[in-house]
Amino acid sequence: MASARVSLRSLVPVVAAVAVVYFASYLGAWMQVTFRDRRPVLYLLGDSITENGANPDKSGWVALLQHRYQRSTDVLPRGLSGYNTKWFIEFALPVIKRELSDGSISPSLITLWLGANDAALTDGPSARQHVPLEAYATNLETIVYMLKASAPDAELLLITPPHVDDAARQIRSKTGRLDRSNTMAGEYARVCVETAGKVGVTVLDVHSLFNAMSARERTMCLEDGLHLSAWGNRLMDRLLRTKIADAFPALMSRLEVWDIPNWNRLP
C-alpha cells in the first residue's frame, strides 16, 4: 500500500503538468477567438484588370490574395470590365457608397485601380471609353473623397494605369487601329500619382515599374499588351503585398493572424 501511495504521489507533478499544458492550450485558443480584432477586409475596386484578377485559372492576383489570406482576411473585389472613372462614379459609386454606409462592408484597405479605359485613344476603336486627362484627375478626387467620407477608418491605395504594349495591341486590333498606347497611359499614370499626392493617399505606380522592366519581362507579364498574364498576376500579387507591408505595416501584421486557431492549437 505504501509503495502504491508513493507511485500515485509521484504522478501528481506529471498530471499537473499535463493539466497546465491543456489549460494553456485551451486558454490560448479561446483568447484568440474571443479577443481578436474584427477580421480585416480588403476592398478592391477597379476595371477588368481587377475583375480578371479574381480568375483562378489565370493565377489572378485577387484570387492569390484570397487564397493566401483565407484564414485571416476577407478579400472583396469589385472589378468592372470596361469601366472608366466617369461610369464608375455614375453607376458603381452609389452601390459602393451604400455598401459602406450601411455597414455591409467595413474595409481595412481600399484599392482603386482605374484609368486603363480612361486613357483609350480618341481616334481608336475604344474612343467611347476615353475620359479627358483633367476630367480623369477630377474623377479620381471625387471617388477618393467619397471613399474617405464613407469609410473613414480604411487605408486607401491608388494604383496607376498599367503599361501598354503598343505592338501587341496593334496585332490584336480587328480594325487595324490602335486602341491604347503606352505614351497615353503614361500621362494618366502621371496624373494618378499627382492626384494621390494632392488628396493624401498612397499610390502604387505599376506603370513605372513595368516600364523599368526589359521588353521580354513585360511580354511575359501581359497576355494581350494590356491585361495581366498568369505571370503578371503573380507579380502584381507580390507588388501589392510589398506595398501594403511598406505603407501599412500594422495592417500587414493583421493579415498574417488567423481569426480561428489552427487545429494543432486546440486542446
Positions annotated as catalytic residues are 48, 224, 227
- Would you give the end-to-end CA distance of the chain in angstroms? 35
Q: What single-letter DSSP state applies at residue 126?
A: T
Handedness of CA 26, 27, 32, 37 (dihedral sign): positive
Handedness of CA 156, 108, 238, 87 (dihedral sign): negative
R_g (Cα) of the chain, nearest Å: 25
What is the C-alpha to C-alpha distance for residues 156 and 49, in angstroms, rounded to an integer? 18
| 3-state SS class at 228 | strand
Taking every pair of Cα atoms in the chain, the longest distance, rounded to a whole number of angstroms, is 101
> Residue 42: enclosing H or E segment and its boundaries?
strand 41-46
**Strands across the sheet with 202-204, in order?**
74-79, 41-46, 109-113, 155-159, 202-204
